[in-house]
């Protein structure tokens, strides 16, 4: 039975049926009663309600309740909203079959790269597993039986010295200008293997120039990391005008300005993230594999193979 009682300035509704207990506070007694009635109906008719819940409703609930707790909330919210506009979202959870997601996969592959489809399938699968394990809306994940596309080969694009000099000329040397600082951030990334988001988030209170260490409180894998700084990395930092954050750029500004510099310099097929590949390849000549993994934040040593791009010719020279 439902219980409605005063709670501070509002009303607490408590429901206990068939071993299921739920509770929530509302500003008015009527809102509490309405909620309690819905909860009792859902508990008593769980299978029927679950089967009739649409995928769109599940995606909306996940975006509202789960996504905000994640670091990648913005990217995830955009993807979930796109999922909700797809015809598959109109299906009820009880109707979902692997063939529906196979058709969705094939349609997406005609629009975007296999890598994008793989990431979207991972997000979709996470939503469905939450609906299965935490919300009890399905007994199995229909996406688990759908084949993922073959992953694309890892990028091996490294900037050449000529390309770096051309971009340097376009960006200019005056670091009072955001365009110059965007290219300066690229040079800093080549020295440290730091990601773009880590660089734009740097603040001076987390940098010790004397000890040559930058502390990253938040990283992609969720763990803090201390990045050792080369003498060149320190020089690049000391050349910057004092501002907060250190490079005075947002992630969006860095992305836009780097692309502008790259395009004006006539450089093709180069991304800011390629600096990470180049940096790891350079650092591998100076550090052992464990020190390198610690510096760049890889907990799985196999990931270094994705980023390490030294050519066979260069390795042969090192052999003597």
- Per-domain residue ranges for the chain? 2-44, 55-145, 161-319
Residue 18 has pLDDT above 70, yes or no: no
Q: Please check the confidence at residue 304 and state whether its pLDDT lies above 70.
A: no
**From 84, 108, 277, 298, active-site residue:** 298
Catalytic one of 74, 169, 218, 220: 220
220 part of the active site: yes
> pLDDT-derived band of residue 49, with 50, 70 and 90 as boundaries?
low
> What pLDDT does 224 receive?
80
Across residues 256-265, what is the average pLDDT? Answer: 96
Quote the CA–CA distance of 12 and 6 in Å, as a whole number. Answer: 6
The active-site residue, picked from 195, 225, 276, 277, is: 195
User: Does the pLDDT at position 202 exceed 60?
Assistant: yes
Active site residue 285: no
Among candidate residues 17, 61, 168, 308, the one labeled active-site is 308
> Between 147 and 15, whose confidence is greater?
147
52 classed as catalytic: no
Q: Among 60-64, 124-128, 304-308, whose mean pLDDT is lowest?
A: 304-308
**Would you state the pLDDT for residue 136?**
78
pLDDT at residue 278 greater than cutoff 90 = no
In this predicted model, what pLDDT tens digit does every residue of 108-161 receive, in sequence order?
999 998 989 999 999 999 999 998 888 878 878 999 999 999 887 777 788 999
At residue 74, the pLDDT reads 79
**pTM of the shown model:** 0.62
CATH of domain 161-319: 1.10.443.10
pLDDT for residue 307 is more than 90: no
Mean predicted confidence (pLDDT) in 176-182: 96
Residue range 20-35, pLDDT digits in tens: 677 888 888 888 888 8
Residue 271: the pLDDT is 93
Residue 82 appears among annotated catalytic residues:
no
């Amino acid at each position: 039975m439902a219980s409605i009682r005063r709670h501070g300035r509002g009303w607490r509704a408590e429901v206990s049926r068939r071993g299921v207990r739920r509770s929530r506070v509302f500003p008015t007694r009527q809102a509490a009663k309405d909620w309690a009635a819905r909860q009792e109906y859902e508990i008593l008719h769980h299978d029927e309600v679950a089967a009739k819940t649409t995928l769109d409703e599940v995606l909306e609930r996940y975006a509202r309740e789960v996504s905000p707790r994640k670091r990648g909330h913005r990217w995830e919210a955009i993807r979930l909203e796109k999922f909700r506009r797809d015809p598959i979202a109109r299906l009820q959870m009880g109707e979902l079959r692997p063939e529906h997601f196979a058709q969705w996969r094939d349609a997406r592959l005609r629009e975007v790269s296999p890598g994008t489809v793989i990431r979207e399938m991972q997000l979709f699968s996470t939503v469905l597993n939450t609906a299965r394990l935490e919300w009890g809306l399905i007994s199995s994940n229909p996406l688990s039986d759908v084949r993922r596309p073959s992953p694309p080969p890892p990028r091996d694009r490294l900037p050449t010295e000529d390309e770096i000099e051309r971009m340097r000329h376009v960006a200019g040397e005056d670091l009072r200008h955001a365009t110059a600082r965007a290219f300066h951030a690229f040079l800093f990334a080549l020295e440290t293997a730091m990601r773009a988001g880590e660089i734009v988030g740097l603040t001076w209170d987390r940098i010790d120039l004397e000890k040559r260490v930058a502390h990253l409180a938040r990283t992609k894998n969720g763990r803090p990391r201390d990045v050792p700084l080369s003498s060149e990395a320190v020089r690049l930092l000391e050349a910057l005008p004092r501002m907060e954050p250190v490079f005075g750029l947002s992630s969006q500004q860095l992305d836009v300005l780097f692309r502008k510099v790259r395009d004006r310099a006539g450089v093709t097929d180069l991304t800011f993230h390629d600096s990470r590949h180049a940096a790891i390849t350079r650092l591998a000549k100076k550090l052992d594999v464990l020190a390198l993994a610690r510096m760049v934040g890889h907990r799985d040593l196999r990931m270094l193979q994705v980023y390490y791009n030294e050519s066979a010719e260069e390795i042969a020279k090192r052999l003597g």
